[in-house]
């Protein structure tokens, strides 16, 4: 496969991953599929949203910082002014930005999974699983500590896990594009050799 066609494929695959990251991060602001917790947070009634959600790893890191490079990487693979050595050289830098963004999303997702959700325990809103000797991930019996929002542990686990997988794939694809861009820059694209990209 030539470097131009490879860039096109990588760009196309990065689009849905970036969108999935943004959607998951936005959904995490509404634990239990309810807006009351986001409203309470906005009105200054204390922390109701998990802290790692507010870091916006899925929107900023896995979303915007991957989507912009994905557009350039995709355009680099198309026939036209960008499908040349210069375009492939620029795609290395854009892919590096994508790796940085995806890595940020990955780290935030890991922290979200390790620390667990913010929830109502008794009469106090807190993150009950931080600094516990036993991980709540291995002990579903501990999940009942969270009284509200409903099923918040499962909700956070599912969405942070999706963010983790999406950001992992983004890291791999952007890193591969850095290598592909280097080959395209040094050896030229198929278009340079008179072939279809």
Give me the pLDDT at residue 191, please: 53
**11-34 residue pLDDT tens:** 999 999 999 999 999 999 999 888
**151-183 residue pLDDT tens:** 999 999 999 999 999 999 999 999 999 998 888
β-strand partners of 67: none
Give me the pLDDT at residue 196, please: 45
Which of the two residues, 134 and 56, has the higher pLDDT score? Answer: 56
DSSP category for residue 127 = -
Nearest to 12 by CA among 190, 136, 195, 173: 173
Burial of 10 (0-12, 13-18, 19+ CB in 10 A): buried
Q: How many domains is the chain partitioned into structurally?
A: 1
**59-104 residue pLDDT tens:** 999 999 999 999 998 888 766 444 477 778 888 999 999 999 999 9
User: What domain range is 72 assigned to?
Assistant: 3-193
Give me the pLDDT at residue 195, please: 46
Query: How far apart are alpha carbons 176 and 89 in whole angstroms?
Result: 14
């Amino acid at each position: 496969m030539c470097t131009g066609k490879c860039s096109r494929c990588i760009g196309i695959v990065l689009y849905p991953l970036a969108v999935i990251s943004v959607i998951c991060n936005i959904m995490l602001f509404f634990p239990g599929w309810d807006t009351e917790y986001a409203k309470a947070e906005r009105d200054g009634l204390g922390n109701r949203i998990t802290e790692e959600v507010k870091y916006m790893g899925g929107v900023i890191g896995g979303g915007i910082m991957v989507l912009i490079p994905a557009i350039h990487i995709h355009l680099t693979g198309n026939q036209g002014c960008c499908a040349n050595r210069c375009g492939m050289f620029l795609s290395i830098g854009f892919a590096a930005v994508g790796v940085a963004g995806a890595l940020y999303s990955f780290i935030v997702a890991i922290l979200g999974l390790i620390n667990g959700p913010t929830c109502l325990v008794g009469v106090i809103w807190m993150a009950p699983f931080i600094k516990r000797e036993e991980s709540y991930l291995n002990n579903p019996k501990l999940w009942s500590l969270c009284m509200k929002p409903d099923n918040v542990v499962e909700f956070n686990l599912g969405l942070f896990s999706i963010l983790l997988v999406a950001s992992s794939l983004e890291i791999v694809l952007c890193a591969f594009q850095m290598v592909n861009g280097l080959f395209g820059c040094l050896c030229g694209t198929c278009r340079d050799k008179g072939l279809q990209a």
